[in-house]
Amino acid sequence: MEYLLFIFAVGLAAFRLYRLRRLQHPLPPGPTPHLWSGNVHQLPSSHQWRTYAEWGHTYGPVISFRVYSKRTIVLNSLKAATDLLDTRSSMYSDRPILWMLTELAGRGLSVFNIPASHPWFKKYRKTMHSGLSPRPTMSYRPIMQAHSRKMLLSFAASPTQFRSHIRKNAASLILEIAYGRTSEDQVEYFVSVISVIEEGTKAHAVVVQPGWWLSSDLLRFIPSWFPFAEFKRLAAFQKKQMKRLDSVLYDWAKGQIESGDYVESFTSLNFRQNMSSALYAGASDTTVGILIAFVLLMTLHPEVQKRAQAEVDRICEGRMPTWDDEPDMPYVGALIKEVMRWSPVAPLGLPHVVTQDDVYDSYFIPKGTTVLANIWAIAQDETLYPSPFTFDPERFLGPNPQFDPRKFIFGLGRRVCPGQHFAETPISLNVASVLAVFNISKAVDEQGREIEPDVRFTSSTTSHVENFPCSITVRSPELLELVATESGRTTSD
């Protein structure tokens, strides 16, 4: 009896302390919720980052909303995101338990979702850093250059299929580095498997939306055949698709390693199934999104393209660009930064969760609250980037350049993308190489009139520019011939 009274007293004291903190420090502001359902009725079905940014303009840089019993806080400013996710990373590095994603869809131990307290977390990070940090990435440069050359030849052969060429370039590069495969047939096979990633990403985007968290908590035990149990079927679909992705190529690489017939690769060096697929999901998707946005922006801004091409021509003098040229091409470097800022590939990053009660800027943040860094809002913050919706590489030049977006678009804190440098390395070479060899302009219709691209973005965990028409033509046949010679092919192949 005394033991029960003691437990009751401790619980009552904890509850009173919690209530006292709530009275002393209110929750961050946000839209007015319904009593029971919270803000479900106000959440958008797509492009949530835009709505969160609008709420930030109304309520301040730190906002909160509730979906039934689940509280979410969105950080719309660089200061708030840095203060919490970086400075207080010991409390903000975990992932929320989303039953739809971690258990029903089976993604709980993937690199992106594994809890920070799990013993594998540090092993994952150490292994990823050992294979993707600047020093080992240097050893991948010959592979990256070879795949970049192939992409250029594909651009010349069928320019209207540039999106497909960019995807194939990213896939084949990751394929060789992660698994050691190099043949064309194997590349084509892996490209066919990319649809698994894309469908899985779409499903992932659905199951991490706040509106789905109720089903995660209350309805996860309902059988999948039950009416209105679509969420169970969606989770099962994602689990099947992502398991296939995890295993197909990894099992192949494992067999090659055991037989002794293999090319040295990330998988052979770091034997972690969940990590090799993450290498594609993270680095490749980032590369694809940024390069497609680059093509769009060159279509829309010919004056920027001409200035960047002039810089490449002046430095390279009839040869192809290399990484050694980067310090001498400040405008091209600024252009790449501005592409990243203008079109952040992961607008909300991935959700964090606070592991203990906290107070920030006089606001109370309860333990278990999901925390999102609105990368898109930070990239469009006019206090950091005046005229934020204007594409202007010059903002990163001169004696007082604006804040480098690479310091936040890959995430913040302990969960920052470990493959950031690995992803950036081929981007810089591909951008400079495309500028050297091609002109990008607006497509024309049958009457010869320019077609203005309709700029729209997909809405998922990652966000890419949707399909748009453009014209890609060779500006330097001599460089294209040089590329073909280096690749052991002809421009007519």
- % of the chain with per-residue pLDDT over 90: 53
Q: Is 443 a residue whose pLDDT tops 70?
A: yes
Q: Is 151 a residue whose pLDDT tops 50?
A: yes
| pLDDT winner (highest mean) among 120-124, 212-216, 260-264, 279-283 | 120-124
Q: Is 177 a residue whose pLDDT tops 90?
A: no
| pLDDT winner (highest mean) among 114-123, 166-175, 477-486 | 477-486
DSSP string, 220-248: TTS-TTSTT-HHHHHHHHHHHHHHHHHHH
- Look-up: residue for tokens 């394929």? 175
Instruction: Look up residue 161 and give its two tokens.
Output: 């299929």
Indicate the pLDDT class of residue 416, thresholds 50, 70 and 90.
confident
- Each residue's pLDDT tens digit, 325-382: 999 999 999 999 999 999 999 999 989 999 999 999 999 999 999 999 999 999 999 9
At 134 the pLDDT is: 83
Question: H helices within 60-102, ranges in order?
Answer: 78-81, 89-92
Instruction: Look up residue 365 and give its two tokens.
Output: 């943040």
Closest CA to 21 of 479, 314, 364: 364
Classify each residue of 380-393 as buried b or exposed e, where b means 16 or more C-beta atoms within 10 Å of its C-beta.
bbeebbeebeebbb
**Among 31-35, 170-174, 251-255, 488-492, whose mean pLDDT is lowest?**
488-492
Average pLDDT of span 226-243: 64
At 136 the pLDDT is: 82
Q: How many angstroms separate the CA atoms of 449 and 469, rounded? A: 13
Q: Is 470 annotated as a binding residue?
A: no
- Look-up: residue for tokens 């060429």? 165
DSSP-assigned letter for residue 323: G
**pTM of the entire predicted model:** 0.84
Instruction: Look up residue 105 and give its two tokens.
Output: 């869809």
Q: Distances in Å between the alpha carbon of 47 and those of 193, 240, 461?
A: 26, 27, 10
Closest CA to 228 of 219, 238, 216: 219
Indicate the pLDDT class of residue 119, thresholds 50, 70 and 90.
confident
Between CA 162 and CA 167, with CA 164 as vertex, the angle to 5 degrees is 110
